[in-house]
Amino acid sequence: MSPPKLKGNFPPITECNGASSKYESVAADLDGTLLISRSSFPYFMLVAVEAGSFLRGFILLLSLPFVIIAYLFVSEALGIQILIFISFAGLKIRDIELASRAVLPRFYAADVRRESFEVFDRCKRKVVVTANPTVMVDAFVKDYLGGDKVLGTEIEVNPKTKKATGFVKKPGVLVGDLKRLAVEKEFGEESPDVGLGDRKTDHDFMSICKVWLILY
């Protein structure tokens, strides 16, 4: 199913940054929207090396052509699932959390897109909806961006070993329609005032927001 065609109001982002803005809530994508870079590969690489080893990072690097092919010609979800499997499989969830909290935020912070962050920051209720694993971005979003909630892909953890299996929990990698469903569940009947995104697979969740801004 193709993403819905957006209809409605497209105010300039400078208008949304104005002091008179009355937007109460925002649902924003991360890569390419709140961050300048549209690729999450460098951040997966950091976690793979810091929580795993240089060997794991090297294997992840070798897999990049397959990830790109899967992402472009099969589905965005499959490309991200490959990244998650190679980066996380067999690692203790505690090590992933520590690397995500101690290492990733300073790299994310250097990549923040100023104009979209200003819109995000002016809203009272700030939610990030992303295909990235929640464990990777939660600390950065809450501690550095001042976000209230991350709606992201949840990774599967073996309850006995406390290690990541490399797979994801249902409903799967959060892209397209799954992003919309996550936002609807979070906000209920009160749709977000602002939707921020940068690609066609963001249109699904942006279509239920009152105002939307697409960054190219």
Give the least confident one: 7-16, 72-81, 160-169, 201-210: 7-16
Model pLDDT, residue 11:
52
> Which residue do the tokens 């092919």 mark?
69
Cis amide prior to 105 (ω within 30 degrees): no
Q: How far is CA 76 from CA 32, 82, 164, 215, in A?
A: 14, 10, 21, 18
pLDDT tens by residue, 155-180: 999 999 999 999 999 999 999 999 99
Cβ(45)–Cβ(36) below 8 Å: no
pLDDT-based confidence at residue 199 (cuts at 50, 70, 90): confident
pLDDT-based confidence at residue 16 (cuts at 50, 70, 90): low
pLDDT-based confidence at residue 2 (cuts at 50, 70, 90): very low
User: Looking at the DSSP assignment, which residues form a beta bridge with residue 27?
Assistant: 127, 195
pLDDT over 90 (residue 10) = no
User: Per this entry, what is the length of the chain?
Assistant: 216
Model pLDDT, residue 152:
98
Q: What is the mean pLDDT of residues 35-56?
A: 96
- Assigned token pair, 183: 């936002």
Domains of the chain (ranges, CATH numbers):
13-214 (3.40.50)
Q: Characterize the bridge pairing of strands 125-133 and 155-157.
A: unpaired
pLDDT over 70 (residue 4) = no
Model pLDDT, residue 21:
58
The pLDDT mean for the chain works out to: 90
Q: Is 91 left (phi over 0), alpha (psi -120 to 50) or beta?
A: beta
pLDDT over 70 (residue 6) = no
Whole-angstrom Cα distance, residue 144 to residue 132? 17
pLDDT-based confidence at residue 13 (cuts at 50, 70, 90): low
pLDDT over 60 (residue 127) = yes
Cβ(63)–Cβ(33) below 8 Å: no
- The structure's pTM equals 0.88
pLDDT-based confidence at residue 7 (cuts at 50, 70, 90): very low
Neighbours of 42 (CB within 10 A): 11
Model pLDDT, residue 99:
96
